[in-house]
Amino acid sequence: NAGVTQTPKFQVLKTGQSMTLQCAQDMNHEYMSWYRQDPGMGLRLIHYSVGAGITDQGEVPNGYNVSRSTTEDFPLRLLSAAPSQTSVYFCASIPGGSMNTEAFFGQGTRLTVV
């Protein structure tokens, strides 16, 4: 199993551009989430999904869209990039049945918006 795979690892965008951060997991996990990590702050939840076709907003959803058409994939779309979205983004998955189990994280995408 590859676990949770995020692409790309690094990205530089110009203000106003759009892009999609990819996240795929091969563990058949029900729950998937997107977080951003900024210096001095904990990981903050952007959007999450409890199953295919079901998504919901987290703590900092503005400027981001998600969809979950399959169990495996949970892409994060930046609609119009802003410098405030410069951050490291992590995707995570959790096995279904209980939230209170180990979360598996991808390696992260480091995004810079200039």
**Which residues of the chain form contacts with another protein (CB under 8 A)?**
4, 31-33, 35, 40-45, 48-50, 56, 58, 90, 92, 94, 97-108
Is residue 112 within 8 A of residue 13, CB to CB? The reply is yes
Q: How far is the CB of 85 from another protein (least distance, A)?
A: 19
Q: How far is the CB of 81 from another protein (least distance, A)?
A: 22
Coil vs helix vs strand at 85:
helix
Is residue 105 within 8 A of residue 90, CB to CB? The reply is yes
Between 15 and 107, name the residue whose CB sits nearer to another protein.
Answer: 107
Closest CA to 63 of 94, 92, 41, 89: 89
Reading the block at residue 88, the tokens are 């490291």
Between 35 and 64, name the residue whose CB sits nearer to another protein.
Answer: 35
Between 17 and 104, name the residue whose CB sits nearer to another protein.
Answer: 104
